[in-house]
Every structure is written in structure tokens, then in C-alpha cells.
Chain A
Amino acid sequence: MSDATERLIERLAGEAEPVRRLPPPLLRAGLWLLAVAAAFAAAVLLFADMPEFVRRARDPRQVVELAATVLTGVAATIAAFQLSLPDRSPLWSLLPLPALFLWLASSGYGCYSSFLALGHDDGSLAESSHCFRFIIGFSVPLAISLLVLLRRATPLSPGRVAAMGGLGVAAIAAFALQFFHPFDVTFLDLGVHIVAIGLVIAGMSLAERLSPAPQAA
């Protein structure tokens, strides 16, 4: 054994305080999602246009889109917690992909149908900018709380973990938007949603990069 390595082992053993083990990732993801769901439910009860939402939810395509959106959020959140641990497979990154494709496909199909029905795309920049602000504004507190939790695992690939968390947060924000935005999605909306989601993912990755290295528990 080299002297330097031997000295390092002595130093690390000397510093080894008891540590609190992280709970299983699925449990941590579940608790965070539950907290978000509780806050979201309160916001919906107070502010959402429920009759309009119920009317729109009768459309099967709308139901598929809603389910795919929330599934993307849940799957990406679980994947982020799994990926934050050193011994989990990178294949966890694939978990949200099926739901993500379904979400984008059903949104795209919705845009196309309303375009065919109306003969024009009646999206306005003012409405789309409302969606944009909603997704970004809703995502910020979620992203901060998720980042704090994910960093507790001191991930070895922080960029990938933060990006996955960003996808989860943005998808949840897009799901929440459906309760406060009682309009059929236009191509402009869809584009704006995608840009907002990309910004949330990039923002979380950047925040992870810029924040100081976390300390072990």
C-alpha cells in the first residue's frame, strides 16, 4: 500500500462519524410527490375552474393526455431519485420516455384535430405567454425543493440527475396547467410548453452546476 493511500485511510477512518442512511429512493420520491399533490390539491380547490375542467375531461383524448403528462412527471421524479444513487442502473433514464412520447403525441394530435376543425390555428401569443409563465412559475418552488432532496445523495452524475428532475417538475407543472388553462392546446401552445419544459430542465441542471458541492449527511 502506498504511504499516501495509507495516510488517507487513517484520516478517513479517523473522521468517520455516524451517518444517517438515506431512505429507499422510491419512498423519498413518493413522499415528495405526495407533498406536491397535497399543495396542488389545495390550489385546485381554491383557484381552478373545475366545471370547465370536468367538461373537457369527458374527451378521451384529453384524458390520455392528462394521464400521460402526470405519468411523465411521476416516472421522471422516480428516475431522478434512483439515478442520484451510485449503484443504480443508468437505464432508469428511460423510465419516463414511454409516457413522454404518449404525452407529446396526444398533445400534437389534439392540436392537429382542432386545426382541422377550425381550419386555422387560433393560438394567440398572449395566451401562450400565460402558459409559459405558469409552467416556469409553478416549476420554480418544485425545482428548488426537489434539487435539495436529490443533492442529499451527492450524485456522481449530477447533471443527468438534475435534468431528469427538471423533466419531472416541468411535466407536473404542465399537468397543473390543465386545471387553470381551460383551452384546447394550439400548436403555438405546444411549442411554448416544450420551450418552457426545456428551460426548466436547463435551469435545474445549471442550478446544480452552480451550487456548492453538498456535504455527506
Chain B
Amino acid sequence: MAPAQADLETEDTDLRWSRLMATAQGGDREAYRCLLGEILPFVRAIVARQHRMPDRAEDVVQDVLLTLHRVRHTYDPGRSFKHWLAMIARRRSIDALRRRLRLGSLEVSDDIAYETFADPRANRMIETREAGEGLRAAVAGLPERQRQALELVKLREMSLREASQASGISVAALKVNVHRALKALRARLKGERM
């Protein structure tokens, strides 16, 4: 098609839509229905520039139609209808894109959601449980004498004398074993975190 002919057709379409809109503003429902049907490909083409997914794009197209309906009293038949419509379609399309980006930045995927909850208390509970499991595994990995000394003195909170009586190990040996156990645990847990 020659460019001059294309321009002429664009002008014809603009004029036709402008007349249909002016009639629709007067309450002619048939003209309005006809106009909304005819402008769809034009609106879809504008929306498709920002929205590639067909479902999402169709939602935006419907939003453009609703907006056009709401602001139809602002159209001045002395001006280009195509320009008026294109500005509405572009504006609503960009608004929808911004809304989607804003929502996207607030959403988290399931994998991350498992580790991070919106409520800090929930995070603390998970972290405490995970830390407890790590500590239990580290204690189980200690040599028998160190594990026993630690359990009596630190976990059951016995005095050194009581622990010595209960286990038959001397107070000095208990002290040494508790010290070594704590040192080993500290090293192991620190290594895990790094």
C-alpha cells in the first residue's frame, strides 16, 4: 500500500471513529458497540508493546475499555479520536506495568518463603529449631568422656562434685573434659556457619 493511501485510510478511520464517538456521547448504544468493537485491534496493538503475555494483555485491554467508558465525556469531537484513545491506552498500559512491578517486588517465591516469613517471630522459631538441631548433632559427635562431662555439668546443671559422684570421674578430669568439649563445639559450630 502506498504511504499516501495509508495516511488517507488512517484519516478516514479517525474521522469515522470520531463520528461514532460523538454519536455515542449522545446516547446511541449501537454506535458505541460498533466503535468499541472496531477499536479493539488498535488498543491491543498499543497494549502489546508493554504486555507480552496474552492473558495479561487482554486484562489491560479491558481496563482501557473501562477507562474509555468512564472518561468518554472528555472527548472533544473537534480533535483526533485516535490520539485521545492512544493516550488513554498508553497511560493505562504503563499504570498496569507499574502495578505489576510493584506487586512483583513484594512477592517472594516459595523456596525463599520457606526460609523467610513476613512475621519475624516465625523466623526466630525456625532459626532456633535449626540451631538446636545443629547443636545436638555436634554434641553427639564428641568423644564419649567429653560428651558425658558436658551433659552432666552443662545440660543437667549438676555441680562438679555431684557430677563426679554420679559418673565416678574425678572433679579435675570433669573440668578438663567440659573445657575440651566446649572448645570442640565452638570450633565445630563456627566452622558450620562459615
- Interface residues of A, Cβ cutoff 8 Å to B: 1-2, 4-5, 8-10, 12-22, 24, 85-87, 153-154, 156-157, 216-217
Contact = CB atoms under 8 A, between A and B. Distances in A.
Interface of B: 24-30, 32-33, 36-37, 40, 58, 61-62, 65-67, 69-76, 79-80, 83-84, 87-88, 91-92, 95
B25 A87 contact: no
A14 B95 CA distance: 27
Given A5-B65, A16-B72, 5 more contacts: A5-B58, A85-B74, A87-B83, A87-B88, A156-B95
| Contact residues of B: prevailing secondary structure | helix
B71 A216 contact: yes
Given A21-B25, A87-B84, A87-B87, A8 B70 contact: no
B65 A14 contact: no
Nearest to A152: B73
Interface centre among B32, B71, B76, B87, by most chain A C-beta atoms within 10 angstroms, is: B71
Contacts, number: 86
B25 A19 contact: yes
Contact of B70 (A18, A21, A154): A154
A187 B30 CA distance: 64
A27 B92 CA distance: 28
A20 B27 CA distance: 10
Contacts of A156: 67, 71, 87-88, 91-92, 95
A13 B33 contact: yes
A19 B87 contact: no
Contacts of A87: 79-80, 83-84, 87-88
